[in-house]
Structure 1
Amino acid sequence: MFCYRESVSVGFVGSADWKGLVLQVEGGLLAIACAKIAHLDVPAFVKDSELRFIAVNAAFELFSGLDRKALLGCSLSALTDRPEDRALEDMERRALVFAEEQIALCFDETGRDHCRVQIERFVTEDERLFAFGVFRERPRKLKARVSKKTSDEAPRALVTTLHAVPTLAEPFIDFRTLLDALPIGLLLLDKKLSIVHFNGALSQMLANSVDVLRVGIRFDQLMEAILAEDLDRLENDKACRQGFWDLVTREESPQQRIKLGDKIIEVSREPFSAGGILLLFSDVTSVQALERERLLYRSVLENVPEPVFLRDADRKLVFANAAYEQMVGGDRTRFYGLREDEMFPEGAEQMRRENIEVLETGREIEREQLVLMPNGESVPLLTSLKRIEDADGTRHIVGTLADISILKISERELVAARAEAEELYQRFERILRTMPIGVVILSQDLVINFANAVARELVNWPDDRAIHGVNFAEYIRHSFENGWPLLPQPDMETRIANRCAEIRGLKTTRQLERMLGDGRYILVNTTPLEDGQFLITYTDYTEQRLREREITEAKARLDDIGTLLQEASHVMTQGLCVFQAGKILYANEKLAEILHVPASMAKEGADWLDLYEYCGARGIFGEDPADFLTEMRASFLEDQGFSAVLLQRNGSWIKLEAMVSGENRWLVLFSDVTQEKKREAELTLLAEKAEAADRAKSRFLASMGHEIRTPMSGVLGMAELLASSGLDTRQKTFLDVIIKSGRSLQTIINDILDFARIDDRSLSLRKAPFDPMAAVEDVVLLMAGRAAEKDIELLVRGNDAVKHLVSSDAGRFRQVLTKLLDEAIKATDKGHVLIDLSEQKQSDTLLWLTLRLEDTGRGFTTEQNSLAFTKFSQFESPPVHHKSSAGLSLSIVAGLVDLFGGTIAIESEYGLGAVITVRLPMAIAGEKIVDRPSRQLQGARVLALASNRLACGILNEQVLRWGFDGVALGEAELAYTVLREAIIVGQPIELVVVDVQSGSDAMLALLRKIRLDGLFNTLAIIALIPPTLTDLERELEGLNIQAQLQKPVADASLRNAIADVLRTLRRGPHAETSRDMSVPRAPTPKADSAVVIVDANETECDFFREVLSADGIAHDVFGNEEQAYAVWQQQRPRVMLIDFAQNIIGALDFVHFLRLEEARTPQLLPTALIGLSGILSTDERIAYLTAGLDDVLVKPISPDRLMDCIRQWSADVQPTQRLA
């Protein structure tokens, strides 16, 4: 509350000042408040109960931007009409109504700067309400300007203010009249606390209670008189008496309330600086009643458990109780003055519409809503809104909020429980409906409440007739009419009535059995339920009855079978023994005979261990019978049977077979297998002989291979020399037959030798890093001639799919592909053979290579598919892949694939070609380096053209992989259109790669059309041509073809050819117009080294002489090592050919001896030692080279191969005379 002390201090300044301040005093507390704000350096103001300005200080004028004349007598909202000013006035009203200090915000004229205002209510002597407002902080615009008011400005301002209020400005005659006119009692005490003066208002207050009031008495006398009057509360109340005494002696006790009759008097004091005290007596009876009523209402609202709030006519929050504060979280005052959209942005529009509707129409609204609280929590609320009006007609919204979270949870739980109950009921009903037995539920009145389909079917209840609600008696009657046991007609109703009475009287389950006329057995169970209902079930147990009958019959049959088994066991050739818990349950007569034991030990009831120990002592169970028995029991613990063949001391063999049942019943069978063992020994001997014969066959094949290769070398060598001589056409034809037959025989021999080595497991793999794609291209280039002879196109795909180098036997890998490709070429008369290589990485160190060969040949039949990889498989009708061979190629491939640890499979349909797929595991040796054209050629525009669909796809993959901007097409006309369109759009194609097929006029016509069109003068062309079309090469020479490559073209060769042509094209118009990109064969150097041949047979010697003489190379032939060594010491020839076919050990010793001799004369050039062998494995080659050979030639040897080897090792030898 506002302090009254200053009013007295102002009113009672000295006598000189008193006259000048008459107007201030006449205003009482209001004048004091007005004077107080004048001295403040922060904005302050005083307002009446209508919120009109009574006084403002200069700081407030500066902050508000309005002068004093405009402010006085007006409210702030009337001057500005701003929402924020109306919010300030709402807080001022709260201060006036509830007599509580309020904190609000006051905005300057711009609306950008604001400060907190502390608002208090004070009541003047005539009980008029005023509001006193002072800023809690200094505004920014006033911080640089501190108001400097002189002391006399306040009186002038106050006088101006008081004159603005007409009711307060009436003049007074003198001091005493003024004091008597005051509505409050005044009592003036001197320093000795004696009464100096009191006014009439005080006399009236104490007239009926105290008669001792007069000037000159002491204050304590008056105090005793006053306390004596308030006998209800204050009689002998020392605390109250001390309070009155403190009121006049201590400054910290400024007021005291007493009861005089039915009035409440509040006493306050104001000390004078000169030493006197002024006591003010105010009647606060009505104020206290209002305060008590206000506190009561506020306490009621605060203690309401539901959130309650009040909004003004502008929808701003002006009050909220503690429950509301708890709901929103935090201090509730931070929301005062805020509208609903400022408090709850989510859903604000609906709240705004509802609040406006309530204010305008007065309609009460109640609804559920999910509100997002300022703390971020979404709360389901039941909101009730109602309009109220105060005395002046101002509308407000009072609202209550009910948190229905628990109700919602309970509602959801109830719904869930109801749904669960419904689901359980439906599930229970479904179970009853689907049960394989009839179910009927009866009410207390024996009315059917439920019956499933089986219950209806048992009595043939009609489908179109409802059964629910039918009396059970009718159900019984219907059942008798439809095959249930019949009774005489007169007794039927009596029987039904007795059955119903029996059901009503049941206390426990009653079971009946009925046999229907159709032979079915029905079991009827009637059970009373707890709710008074009855459950009747009808179970068709006809099957059980039949099972019982079958069991009875089975037991009889089992007894018969037991008898038969017992009779059969007596005639068995094996000894049978069954025992349990150490006792023999059954033993046939043969047991004692086989084991050679007394019959008494092998009879029922005898001890099993006695029998076992007896047999063990005779050596039947080996050297240690205890270990044998332990081993047998361990086998039984693992749920396994036990079997052993035992050698007896007399040389016979006994086979023991034992098993154990779940009841730990042992069944042991003894068989005499002496004869079987004898036959087994004979078969083992025969198998050993067969293996020995197989090894002998392999050795014979290997030996024959060496023997056959030697004459074959002479035959083929001489035939090739003869072919280079002048022969007529007929002779050349005969000679070609000889050469082809010899080569075919050579292939057959190689296949037989490889097969033999695979068959006897003597073949091993040599691991070394290699590029599988390069190996495939090597084989394809090698077989290109064979394919060209039949006009078959070889296609290779896989560079995109193979990313790694592998470590394995490259030679054997090539052999697998060579044989498969050879077979595919043989089987294909037209079309193509596709070789597709891919990899599947299994781990960081291992991958699987997939080699897939697809041909367009005749294919295999279903029978041939299963026999393709068998030895010596040749199919006469229809002819297939290996008709012209010995039938070993695919079986050798299968053996090599098995050696690799891979798989091979054939997919074929006769007449539609074949697909052979080989998968081989390979160790990863590293990643392949991707070769790309230089950066200058990246993005070069290249167009590829191939009429073959597969070839077109392969070319497209290559162009994209090499980094060119291009595509492959399959139609010549489309390619020509693309070329022209590219020039039109300003993106001309630089190079065209054309695959020219045999007999393909479309491609040749396209090339001619391009060269005749002036638009393509700068277009470069690369032609891929078959190797057999020599006429095509001549025709292409006149078409300005930049490069001609014979198919098949290796991946790197085509890429390099494209790069070379592009570089030449980009160097300028003077680039060469036609160039053959095939690699020229190097000129054959004239070999004229001295050569010595050692240990060759006569035929081979003649071959060597003819070949070496034809090239002018000096040579000589020796039949043994001694002669050759003598010449070697004298001449030191550059090359020595040593035949290993005759004597391998002797030849190796001779090589070792020569190398030792060469070590003694290091100043002389060493001799190149070349071995001649009929067969050569990887291990043998390594052994020969380790022994000192420089190279090895495998027979038969062609003249070209011989000369290439001699040129390699003797490039600087000149022709000389024959060595002596």
Structure 2
Amino acid sequence: MSTASSFSDAEWAQQLAAERARREQAEAEVAELRARLAAREQPPAAPFQALHTQVGALVHNLRLGVVLVDGTGAIQYVSPHFWRLFGLEPVAGPPFSEAQLAIGTAFADPEAFHTRAWALHTAGKTVLGEAFLLRDGRRLVLDYLVLDEAGAGRLICYRDVSRAHRREQRQRLLAAVPEQSPNPILRLAPDGELLYANPAAAPLVEALRAAPAEVLPPLLALAQAAQQAPGPRELAVAGQYYLATAAPVPGQAATTLYFSNINDRRLAEEWLGRQRVFYESVLEQVPTAVAVFDDEHRYLFLNAAIEPDPALRAWMLGKTSTEACARRQRPPAVAQQRAAAFAEVMRTGREVQWEESFPAADGTERHAMLWYRPVQGLAGTRLVISLAIDLTERKRAEQQVVQQQEFYESILNLVPFDVAVFDAEHRFRFVNPASVSDPEVRRQIIGLTNAEYFALRQAKHPEIGLQRDQYFDLAVRTRTDVTWEETRTDRRGRPQLMVRHLRPVFGPDGALRLVVGSGIDITARFVAENLQHKVQEMLREQEAFIRQIVDALPNVLYLVEPKGGISFSNRSFNERIMASTHLATELQSETVAREVADMRAFNQDVLDSGQAEIREMPLTLRTGEQLYYQVYKQPLRRANGQLGVLTISTDITEVKRARQALERREKQYHDLVHYSQALICTHDLQGTILTVNPAIEQLMGVPAAELVGRDLRELLPPEHRAIVQAYLDGDEASLPQPRVISVLTHAGERRYLNYYTYRVTEEGYPPYVVASGYDVTAGVLAQRALRQAKQEAEDNAHAKETFLARMSHEIRTPLNGVLGMATLLHKTPLSGQQTEYLNAMQLAGNHLLSLLNDVLDMAKIAAHHLQLNVVPFDLAELLRGVGQTVAALAAAQGLTLEVRTLPGGPHRVAGDAYRLHQILLNLLANAIKFTEQGRVELGAEVLAETPEALHLRFWVADTGIGIAPAEQGHIFEAFAQASADTSRRFGGTGLGLAISQQLVEQMGGTLALRSAPGQGSTFSFELHLPRAAGAVVAAGSNLAEAQPTFERLRGLRVLLAEDNYLNQWIARVVLEHWGVEVEAVSNGTDALAQLSAHDFDAAILDIRMPGLSGVEVTTALRALPDAARAGIPIIALTANAFETDREAYLAAGMNACLVKPYEEADLCQLLLDLTAD
């Protein structure tokens, strides 16, 4: 069904006529019905029943809401359409109640409806066409029909005329549109007759009447064209621009022309066109890069700042940013960043800003700040404007500022006096390390006030903070420097006098920018004055340095006006002009006059061509010296429209001189290569020799002409050719580290060269390699001989170490039996003579053991196998222990032994207490041995101390025989004594001092001797020992202790595996003495069988046994599935005394190691420790 707006005028008329006919038909039928009712005379019930039947049949098919009311007011009939019209549920009847037909609330104005309905009822007359508006917007017409003038009844009809009403309104509206339209409308016949014109077309009608020959033809042509292809066209009529559309009138030989006045639009478009040209010309000149994108990220506009090449700029129009980035060789990351920014702008509608970097065509790194800003285009299109600012120079400037700031801060951080910078609120902005050494505290106080800083540091003198605040306020208030003296205490509590200085710094606007504070320790005047002198010198150097930078700017810049005058110039120009006579016409020489004329001609050439040019031009000074400049001139239009010439000149005099110097240096380099004794050649990347110097000719015995062009590999032995080939095939042909290679001379001699190579790459030329070297044949041969000698020495040392280890094992095994038997004898009743013999035997055995230990220590020291075991210990306890060890020996010789321990204490340090005890014991034993009467002194003192360490001096002094100066030079050599007489008289091996010296040096000190014959000797050394934290272990004390008891061993079951019967018997007796149940075997195989089959609390295994060694037994035992037997404690029993052996045993799974000969207490204590759980 067509909408109302689609009907023509004829269709509207037809529909109105049909509606009118239907209404008249309904009224006629109602009138006929009323006449028939009036003609009949029947009883009341019968007429109404007949009426009901007839009316029901009549109105049932009509779209009328009919209500029949009898003369008594009772409702006798309601048509079905009535219920639908008012949205009521149908009710069976008659009769019907008024409540069932309550329709008042359906009307827009219920009160007005009821008032009018009551008026109709009371009037008792037929009324047609009463219009009412419903609440839902529909329009009803009420017909009130009186059926019987005598008051027999009423017929009330409701008709919905909403659609007809809307049609009439639309028709009236459409009819009024042309008349009220502000745009002209004309209707023309094919012959040009004007059939219709609305009021807005008055100017066109007047133009038609005034000039029909001019106006009518284009209108008729437009009407004729509309018959084929209707569409809008622009026309100019009577000086006005119109957009005209022609539409043929259906069924008529006429055409309607609709006009829209576009005169303002045309003028605006012309103005916008001119503005666009203007703005584009402006955008082409601005240094900011400007571009416009459509909603697909395609270029609609871009200025020359983005792409100076016009051809490429034209190509970019219509291309996407990604396509343009690829064409302009921008990195993919740049294109991706721009695409992401564009997507975000289109998604959020907000501006996006970012920085990007990319390599320029000249190879430099460029930086730019970009903005994407969304805008609304014509016709609602979405556009994005891109702005870009080149940040390259700013980045460089920022980097220079950062470097300058770091430079100044580095100076301030290095100056030896306090420097602090405060803001206007007296908050710290900078503090150098001289003020606060702790970097963490320096970071914390930045941003704090002076009071907050003193609270943070918990300063001892809060009044100093108040005093500094007062001086700060004074400096700011008086706008002058303030200096005062301040007394405080340093970290050690000593008084310290400081000179404080505050300097306020104000900006150009007079506002306080910052306050610079400094402080100098003037406790020692000389140091303060020296420091002040250094600071002043540094400031003078810095000022001179900055001055040199400013004065060294080479560019001369000035602007020449059209008449030749100079309107602008910089300092370099002024200095050069003052040093010449170019502006003093009367003083100009012929050379200067020619230079001035050439410069003016240059200016005119630039003005005539309108293009920038560069030339090299001379400048003659008053002194006659001639300088050369690279002069760049460019036309520059001033704001007043005048065209001047901007000149930027760079002094290239030094470049010319450098070029000449380069030529001289090139000759010098040539001479250097030619006359150098170094071997220098060049070759290409295929190994072909390009040049050689005479030194190579002399070495190879071949003229240079025969070497050039040959393959480098031909001169090398076969074993080197593969290396050279790999070197040539590699990506890097430079060897910054020297290498040795051999070559074969013409005579067949092999020479060794120490050589370097460097790859040279020059644009436009193939790369090549420069090789230089020296003949190191003599050094190579000598190095080979040295390596052979070193290998022989290492073999000898290894053989000696192996011999000592074997001898130690072979001596310790029987020695263990000797000393063990002596220990057991001591437990038996002995006579006095037997006891004396036994003591002599023990003394001899212990002396042999000491000698063996000394020899092994010397072997460890020589092989660098002796390691220090650092543990915490007490110095006083160690000194007393050493003295106690030799106290009996000194007393036996009638000597006074004095031990000077450190005052105060305790003095706990960390070090190798055992080796320090050994050193002091060796020195003390020597002193007692070589002193027949008098005294022997052992002491230590603290030379310096810090919270972390002590600097100590140890000494042993005696009143003995002394040492002659001639003998002191070799007194510390192994197996050396002062003289043969001394050796015969006092005995000894001469190892004690040698071992002591080596141990002292390994601890970081030096063993010194001060002695003279007959005046005794003093041995001393200094050590730096760190302070110890935590528990302190025993430091070799030999103080008398209670006889140890090992009753807790009683009941233990121990397996003893020892192949030496005597040593097995001694160990068994010792352990059984303390109640240990011992199961003894003589080989490793039996030991593993016993341990695998029986339970033991511990095992003692000799290392070297028949069958399986102690290590092999341990390895097999630890692999047993029975965790209890696999985890039994194992003590290694060995005659190998080297630390490496002990570490190997522990690594194999043994729990402890006992070296033969051992003390009974050591064995029992180990068992107690390992079985304590």
Q: TM-score range by the shorter chain?
A: 0.3 to 0.5
Is the radius of gyration larger for structure 1 or structure 2? 1
Identify which of structures 1 and 2 has the higher relative contact order when contacts are C-alpha pairs closer than 8 Å and 6+ apart. 1
